[in-house]
Amino acid sequence: MDGWTGHVMKKTSRKTTTTSFTISMQAEAMPLVQTLQLTEEDEPSVFPKAVPWKKYSGTHEGLSVHVVVPGKDFNLGVDSVGTVPVSMLTYASIVSLHPDLIINAGTAGGFQSKGAAIGDVFVATQFANHDRRIPVPVFDEYGIGTLGATPIPNLVKALALKEGKMSTGNSLDMTPEDEEIIKANDATIKDMEGAAVAYVADLFTVPLIALKAVTDIVDGSKPTVEEFLENMSTAAAALSAMVPRVLKYVSGKKIADL
Ligand code: ADE
């Protein structure tokens, strides 16, 4: 499905005042928190005590800005990446912060055959899943779960951003089955959260922009993990350089004018 779902359209006529960033890795979030001079929330938390989620807030370009991260896994101490933590965090953020725009920022693998290069910052034009294989009529389509992105043609043009369809799964690597579905999804970028954030944003009709910096070339010759770790800080720097420009452009505009 191209374009975007009709009911999202309703929330685009008022000016943007509150933007919430969902970011899954702390190393991706911190350069942004520093660039935007956000501060970590004091007690009491807007989130339940039991969860490791963190929120950093402040104002930037006249916008109220929140960066929310799913925090560290309690058992293993690593970032809570993947679709389940980010969908819960997105839900809780919508309910407690009432953002009129969500930006899912982070890293992605990119396909060089579709024009991606290391350090590029992409805007997703469509969201879909590649690890939800349900070969039963109609459930197959539900599993893929394609959703259109909020159109932002003026913003893309003004900041000369690259655009491409995104495919989401809970694995950093890619099995042959994943690859087949990613190709069917016509994806330029591959991540581990976007389609989950899009699902929740769509449920609550909140406009969503996904901004993803490329850390590794999925159809290249280097091993994914090695390339991902090598380029993580380059990608985080590219993101934190782009975000203030995005916020400046968004500030005071209606989503429909982006
Ligand atoms: N994030 C960064 N690189 C990725 C990849 N290759 N797959 C999924 N998520 C990623």
pLDDT mean for each 10 residues of the chain (258 residues): 41 81 93 94 84 95 95 97 98 96 97 97 98 98 97 97 98 97 98 98 98 97 96 93 96 94
**38 close to ligand 1 (CB < 6 Angstrom):** no
Query: What is 16-257's CATH number?
Result: 3.40.50.1580
Distance 214 CA to ligand 1 centre (A): 8
Answer for the pair 149, 229: CB distance below 8 angstroms, yes or no.
Answer: no
Answer for the pair 79, 26: CB distance below 8 angstroms, yes or no.
Answer: yes
CB atoms within 10 A of CB 142: 12
Nearest ligand 1 atom to the CA of 169 is 8
Distance 215 CA to ligand 1 centre (A): 7
Residue with tokens 């930006």: 103
**Residues with catalytic function:** 28, 216
**234 contact partners, CB below 8 Å, separation of at least 6:** 118, 119, 215
**Residue nearest atom 7 of ligand 1, based on CA coordinates:** 172
Distance 44 CA to ligand 1 centre (A): 34
**224 close to ligand 1 (CB < 6 Angstrom):** yes
Greatest alpha-carbon pair distance for the chain in Å reads 49
**108 close to ligand 1 (CB < 6 Angstrom):** yes
Distance 59 CA to ligand 1 centre (A): 30
Q: What pLDDT score was predicted for residue 114?
A: 98
**107 close to ligand 1 (CB < 6 Angstrom):** yes
**109 close to ligand 1 (CB < 6 Angstrom):** yes
**Residue nearest atom 5 of ligand 1, based on CA coordinates:** 109
**197 close to ligand 1 (CB < 6 Angstrom):** no
Q: What pLDDT score was predicted for residue 11?
A: 59
Half-sphere exposure of 91 (CA within 13 A, CB side): 11
